[in-house]
C-alpha cells in the first residue's frame, strides 16, 4: 500500500501546482487596471508631505486617520508600531499602490496623483523582507526593467550591495540562473540582490519595509552595511522592528491603531517614556502572549509541509476558499498528512 499512496500523493502535488498556477493567472486577468491620470514627469528630489491623510480599504473602517508629517530631501524617517498599526499601509500610499481616501500626499509640493504612475514608481525603490526575484540570470534580476544593461553600473551596484564576492564565485558569474524566486540563493544573498537592484535603479526615494527581519545576525550585519550605503543622500522611509535600523533615523513616527501618537528623535522619545519607550523595552517585537496565540492558531488550522509550494497552496486554498476543487484538494492533503504521521508513530514503536 505504501507505494500507491506515495504515487497518489505525487499526483496530488501536480494537481496542487496546476490549481495554484491557474488561480494566480485568473487573479491577474481579473485584476482591475490601475487608474493613471497623472501627466507630470518632473524630476523628483524626494521631499514628501502628508496632510490630513485618511485611508480605508474598500470595505471597512479607517486604517490610517489624520496622518500629518513631512520628510525633507535626503532625510531618513523611521515608522514604528505594533503589528497591524498601519506602518506598511502608510508607506504603500507613497508609490500609489493604494490611493488615499482623503487629505493630500505631496512629493516636491506636487500631489502624487499628478505624477505619471510609471514616472512616480521609477523614482521610488522598495526593499522588503521577501524581495521578488525571477527565474533568470543575476544580471537581469539586478537590472530588472532595463532592456539595455549597463555592465559597469551593474557591477558597481553589486559591489556596493556586497553581492560581487558571491556572484563572482558562481560558475557563470553574473549570468548564473538563480531559480524561481531566487531559490538557489541564501536569504542574505537574496536580500543583497534586492539592494543591488535598488542601487542600479538609483531612485531618490527609498522604502525599507522590514528589510532585515528575516535574516540571521551574521547576514543582517552585511545587509545593514549595504543599506547604510544605499540610504546615503536619499530620502528614506524605514519600517523595522530592529533597533539598529531605527535609532539613527533623523525622525521617528510612532503609529498606534492608525494614528501618529508620537514623533521625534530616538533620544527625545525615550525621555517621553510613552508608547515608543514601551516598544523600545520590548525590542519592537510582538508580546510573548501574541506569539503563543499565533503559534497555536497556525498549529490548529494550517498543515505543515517540507516544501514551500505545498504550504503556500494550502494557505491560499484554506483561507481564501477560492473554489470547491481547491478546498477539496486541501482537505485531501490534511487526511494524507494525518495518515502519514500515524504511520510514522507506528513504525517508530
Instruction: Look up the domain containing 329 and give its range.
Output: 2-31+295-348
Domain count of the chain? Answer: 2
| 242 and 325 assigned to the same domain | no
- Angle of the 187-201 helix axis to the 217-231 helix axis, nearest 10: 0
195 and 117 in a common domain: yes
Q: Is there a domain that residue 335 lies in?
A: yes
**Residue whose C-alpha is closest to residue 133's, from 97, 180, 174:** 180
Judge whether 127 lies within some domain: yes
Q: Check whether residue 159 and residue 241 sit in a common domain.
A: yes
Residue 130, pLDDT score: 84
The verdict on 220 and 319 lying in the same domain is: no
Last residue of a domain, one of 244, 273, 288: 288
Asked whether residue 246 is domain-assigned, the answer is: yes
Quote the CA–CA distance of 41 and 47 in Å, as a whole number.
15
Tens of pLDDT along 238-284?
997 666 668 888 999 999 999 999 999 999 999 988 888 888 887 65
Q: Same domain, yes or no, for 129 and 233?
A: yes
Q: What is the pLDDT of residues 298-308, one digit of tens each?
A: 333 334 444 44
61 and 180 assigned to the same domain = yes
**Is the same domain home to 166 and 249?**
yes
Query: Which CATH number does the domain housing residue 106 bear?
Result: 3.40.50.300
pLDDT value, residue 334: 55
Report in angstroms the alpha-carbon separations of 95 from 31, 41, 183, 193, 255: 18, 14, 28, 21, 20
* Residue-wise pLDDT tens digits, 23-38: 889 888 888 888 888 8
**303 and 271 in one domain?**
no
**Residue 234: all three cell numbers together:** 536619499
- The order of strands in the sheet holding 124-128 is 124-128, 205-209, 235-239, 76-80, 251-256, 259-264
Note whether 241 and 333 are same-domain residues: no
Is residue 284 domain-resident?
A: yes
Task: Name the domain boundary from 242, 264, 288.
Answer: 288
pLDDT < 50: residue spans in the chain: 285-327, 344-349
Judge if 161 and 228 occupy the same domain. Answer: yes
One domain, residues 309 and 270: no
131 and 253 co-located in one domain: yes
Amino acid at each position: 500500500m505504501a507505494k500507491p499512496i506515495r504515487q497518489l500523493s505525487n499526483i496530488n502535488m501536480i494537481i496542487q501546482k496546476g490549481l495554484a498556477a491557474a488561480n494566480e493567472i485568473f487573479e491577474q486577468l481579473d485584476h482591475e487596471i490601475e487608474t493613471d491620470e497623472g501627466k507630470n514627469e518632473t524630476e523628483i528630489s524626494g521631499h514628501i508631505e502628508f496632510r490630513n491623510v485618511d485611508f480605508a480599504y474598500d470595505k471597512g473602517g479607517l486604517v490610517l486617520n489624520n496622518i500629518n508629517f513631512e520628510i525633507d530631501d535626503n532625510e531618513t524617517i523611521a515608522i514604528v508600531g505594533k503589528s497591524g498599526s498601519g506602518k506598511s499601509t502608510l508607506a504603500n500610499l507613497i508609490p500609489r499602490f493604494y490611493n488615499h481616501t482623503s487629505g493630500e500626499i505631496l512629493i516636491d509640493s506636487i500631489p502624487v496623483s499628478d505624477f505619471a504612475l510609471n514616472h512616480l514608481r521609477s523614482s521610488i525603490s522598495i526593499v522588503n523582507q521577501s524581495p521578488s526575484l525571477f527565474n533568470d540570470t543575476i544580471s537581469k534580476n539586478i537590472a530588472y526593467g532595463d532592456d539595455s544593461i549597463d555592465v559597469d553600473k551593474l557591477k558597481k551596484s553589486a559591489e556596493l550591495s556586497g553581492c560581487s564576492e558571491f556572484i563572482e564565485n558562481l560558475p557563470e558569474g553574473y549570468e548564473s540562473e538563480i531559480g524561481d524566486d531566487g531559490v538557489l540563493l541564501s536569504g542574505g544573498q537574496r536580500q543583497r540582490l534586492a539592494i543591488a537592484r535598488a542601487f542600479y535603479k538609483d531612485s531618490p526615494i527609498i522604502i525599507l519595509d522590514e528589510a532585515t527581519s528575516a535574516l540571521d545576525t551574521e547576514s543582517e550585519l552585511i545587509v545593514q552595511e549595504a543599506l547604510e550605503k544605499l540610504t546615503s543622500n536619499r530620502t528614506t522611509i524605514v519600517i523595522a522592528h530592529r533597533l539598529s535600523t531605527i535609532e539613527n533615523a533623523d525622525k521617528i513616527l510612532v503609529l498606534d491603531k492608525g494614528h501618529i501618537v508620537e514623533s521625534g528623535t530616538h533620544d527625545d522619545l525615550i525621555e517621553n517614556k510613552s508608547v515608543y519607550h514601551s516598544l523600545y523595552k520590548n525590542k519592537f517585537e510582538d508580546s510573548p502572549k501574541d506569539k503563543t496565540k499565533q503559534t497555536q492558531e497556525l498549529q490548529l488550522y494550517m498543515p505543515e509541509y517540507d516544501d514551500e509550494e505545498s504550504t503556500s497552496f494550502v494557505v491560499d486554498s484554506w483561507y481564501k476558499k477560492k473554489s470547491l476543487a481547491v478546498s477539496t484538494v486541501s482537505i485531501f492533503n490534511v487526511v494524507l498528512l494525518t495518515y502519514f504521521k500515524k504511520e510514522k508513530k507506528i513504525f517508530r514503536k
